[in-house]
Amino acid sequence: MITLISAALIGKGCHVIQSPGDADVDIAKATVERSRHCTTTLVGEDTDLLILLRHYSSTDNENTYFRSDANKQSTKRRLYNINLLKEILGVDICTKLMFAHAYSGCDSTSKIFGIGKKAVFHKLLKSDPVILC
């Protein structure tokens, strides 16, 4: 079924990527590749997409945005300018953010030692030695 849908989309001029496993990395990389040529927005509901997009994006590219679509009923959707985020957070935080995200559980709701994603991020911003060691 996926092959048939892909073939139909390709026939209509769409670029199709098939991922054998978790597609998040492929989605983020495809978005970054497209942003080399024009302003690009990735719409998703997955924190992993935001973190991966921030990790793989280049400030040399056109503006890249991530729009959260997690609560489709809400009129308050979040729009993140990835280029601006990278500039504001700085290289040091951006480098550590991927590890902090993975350490705090990626998509899961579990917490390591009672510290969730938001707390890990705040500790990272404050250069908390518990996170940095």
Strand (E) or helix (H) holding 65: strand 64-68
The reported pLDDT for the residue numbered 29 is 92
Count of residues in the chain: 133
Residues 51 and 75: beta-carbon distance below 8 Å: no
User: pLDDT, tens digit, for every residue of 65-98?
Assistant: 999 876 666 566 789 999 998 888 887 777 777 7
Which class for 55: exposed (0-12), middle (13-18), buried (19 or more C-beta within 10 A)? middle
User: pLDDT, tens digit, for every residue of 15-58?
Assistant: 888 888 778 889 999 999 999 999 999 998 878 888 889 888 88
Helix (H, G, I), strand (E, B) or coil at 23: coil
Residue whose C-alpha is closest to residue 56's, from 71, 78, 40: 40
Pairing of strands 79-81, 64-68: antiparallel
